[in-house]
Chains A and B, each alone.
Chain A
Amino acid sequence: MSTVQFLMDGFATAFQWHNLLFAFAGVVIGTAVGVLPGIGPMSGVALLIPVTATLTSGLPAEAAAASSIILLAGVYYGAMYGGSTTSILLNTPGESSSVVTTLDGYQMAKQGRAGAALSIAAIGSFIAGIVALIGLVLLAQPLSNIALEFGPAEYFSLMLLGLAAVSGLAGNSMTKALIMTIAGLLLATIGIDAVSGIARFTYDIPVLFSGIEFLTIAVGLFALGEVFKTILEKDEEDENIAKINRIFPTKQDLKDSTPPIIRGSLLGFFIGVLPGAGATLASFFSYITEKKVSKNPEKFGKGAIEGVAAPESANNAASGGAMIPLLTLGIPGSGTTAILMGALIMYNVQPGPLLFEENPDVAWGLIASMFIGNLMLLVLNMPLVRVFAKIIQTPKKYLLPIIVAISVFGVYAVQFATFDLYLLIGCGLLGYLLSKNDYPVAPLVLALVLGPMIENNMRRALTISNGEFSIFLTSPLSLVFLIAAAAWLLVPLLLKLKGRQVIINEED
């Protein structure tokens, strides 16, 4: 049978009324899960596995597997849609892949363009979802082979490029961005080393053994930092700014967003295919790409719609791309896909090289349902924009306690430790002081996420090469990444030495 025939069979499965219902329930819950920080897609999916198991218990095994995975996958990509909401409205990223969305999204919301930001995030996510699915249908096999070729050396160089690119994020001073990056890398070394099992910087304090939780730092620096700023600086003027002019994006907004959405979708999809790289890297690579290709990069960080459209498309496309290694190789690329894989195994469906042969109904039914689910999400999210966008008009005296409450609940729900609450408050104060002195916080958060991955892949690569650093240069792909990374840091420096004015150092 041809791919088209398989896909049609998949649609036949997905269009069964109970599966439509499952897909709908999945995306609705996913949106809610994405909106609330603390319950990330991972815990959301894990929480629902026993529920779906009960709901599908009456169906034959294969059909039950298809129905539950349709619902659970709906939660997964639904959360990617919803994830932007708190980033844009409250400066509170719920997960690492929506950190960059805060940079311009929150600025847009402050300017009364929350509606436009939310709509463009939904539209971008929809287009990206469809692009990723078409990629999944057409390119699953060849791409899974390419993903396998990605060894430790390639991963290391790709992530190093990511870190170098971080310096282009926000702020006026590259030095300050680099300081924050290094600080993030240092924080990432705390905990038991995953390669050797040796405890580092833990001082025998048990809470430090598993390292510093990213969510605590991100929510503290972004959300609480903003709260402290508002309180300490008695930011009253916002009351007027926060009026909403219009809910939907203007023609100009749509025109500005189209290329970033397309670029973000493609970039996100390909990065998503790589196991372990995932949505975070995709979202901020696409943001930086937009900033680089933009004719006026100075408007990024001040409410550029491209800065919302690109990363939101990218993280959604990445979640589609991540299905490729999961379904074709049985290799989960992220925490959430690992749980999806566990759910499939529960139904005796083994994701891996034999999935498409042994359980075509499950595999193609899932793919078809993702087309339908993405459409549902668009229809569902556009009216919600109107509702959510008004949150920003809430007077500060009500809004601030809510942000604090959401932050505290979210962090405690993930960590169950009072230590993290103290850390959260500490990070809030730090976040205020840092942004007051123009130290960008995004590089710190991203370095914290990337740090362990960079380190582990570097050590693996060096073991393979018997300690020869040349392994990073002899692999062509790795070499390209390294050259790009070096160029990123050195070119502005050289231009500056020559006395030319450089964009990145331009003061407004």
Chain B
Amino acid sequence: MRKSHDSVFTIGIGGAAGDGAREAGNTLGTILAELGYESFVSFTYPSLIRGGHNFARLTFSKEKVYSDHEALDVLIALNEESIGLHRNELASYAVVFADLFEQKDLAALGNNAVALPMAATVKDMNVPAITRNSMALGAICYLLDLDFELMQTALQKAFNGKQPETNIKLADMGYQLLKEKGFKHKKKISPSPEKKELIDGNSALAKGLIAAGLDFYVAYPMTPATSILHFLASKQKDSSLRVIQPESELSVINMALGIAYAGKRVAIGSASGGFALMQEAVSCAGMMEAPLVIAVSQRQAPATGLPTYSSQTDLRFVIHSGHGEFPKIVIAPGDPEESFYAGAEALNLAWRYQLPVIILIDKIISEHASTSLLKADKIKIDHGSVATELGEKYGRYQITSDGISPMAFPGTPNTIVKTTSYEHNEIGITIEEAGPTKAMLNKRFAKTETIIKSLDHHETVKIYGNRSSNDVIVFWGSTKGPVLEAAKYIKKSVKFVQIIWMDPFDVKKVTQELSGAKNIICVECNHDGQLAALIREKTGIAVTEKILKFDSRPFEPVSLAEEINKKI
């Protein structure tokens, strides 16, 4: 029996693949968001289409929820094995909904075992089996003491276009069934005043790209990046956005280089394995100074690894991606909301500085959803430096003091635009002489200096907690979730440092935040402590402790808090 915290409420939905556990989790999250709750929805599943255990877990609260919790207040078991698989995660007072209970479960759960005739009802109604989740959702709404009318409105919104009548009818039946039993949960959570949107990181990132004027998205499917492709493919209607799925990742990135050369805003995306296939062309984007956004979602590697599970093992790979030396930008957002702004910022940065910009995320950010505030009207489109002095003298790679050469595109009268993978002179013709080679390399690296000068205008590092504390927890990417959720249960008042810009690294700011600290604990999901090593390389500061996890699962916030409490 687990202890669950009073300020949060966690619901698990377990079933076989195809039972709709994920959809039920997202629907519930949407309803709760509509009612003003903050929530985080995770989804765990094996790499197969049918069968296997799928599990959605939703933690909600009045305050921002950064990560889901393990201790379950409610479990919806869509099949028999789900009870056994999650028995150890049940909190005291946990309520379990299932079609049927075995005798031993009834004995253990007592009145908290609530039989819901989900399968029988959908069979009687002759509707798809997957809709049986809705009955459980309705039952949960009563259990949580949610207003019936509000639930109806929220369900309408959540089931928009997905058989709303059937689903709402089933939810009503579940609600009434619990009402008849007069059964409410012992724990009560009140909503927060601000209404947000429940969204996963891939959709949020895609929305950010659209907000910044994306013209083309090109990708080859690979979990966990695939839903960016799905989301954007569904947005082409009544839009100038176009999505292409070529024959391979190599085709993807080389096609994108052509699109950027011809003047259109393009992004590509893959898992780190697909990104590995693209390496020669990442370098080519650097050489051609092509504005190119690349979304890279990490999963547990090496090789095919665990396709549907997460890791933070590709930080080093991504910042060193592409052969040779050339400037690039690597941004690692920590949740869906940051992914939205990172998507928009990446596209603008790519065009301002004419280089590859990589958004480094992972399975947790890509596929888990949390309530977020995405302000598309805050996004401005930066078209970069567009050439006004055209004609015969134009050179695509004109040497300038800030390293940025004004862009022109093919199709411009009297103006020739040459780009090449070879080292080149200002007009884009191959060179091999030492002096001009060095001059062109220096021109490209002048952009790095220009970017570093502008770092103060970007959120390269985020600070949470007690800014003057001598105990510092440093982390990156999706580990933000469990760390900030753990923060609620860390006894000492500590400072939390999230590093977002990995390249160029904000040496000044990170040094400022870490120097003089007594304890610096670096928390990340990899074996080598890649961020800890990067901090030492860039600032000379060695972290005092590392908490590393590399079993393909994210940190659990309450356990993480316990581990941190022991160290400080």
Chain A partners chain B? no
What is A's interface to B at a CB cutoff of 8 Å?
none
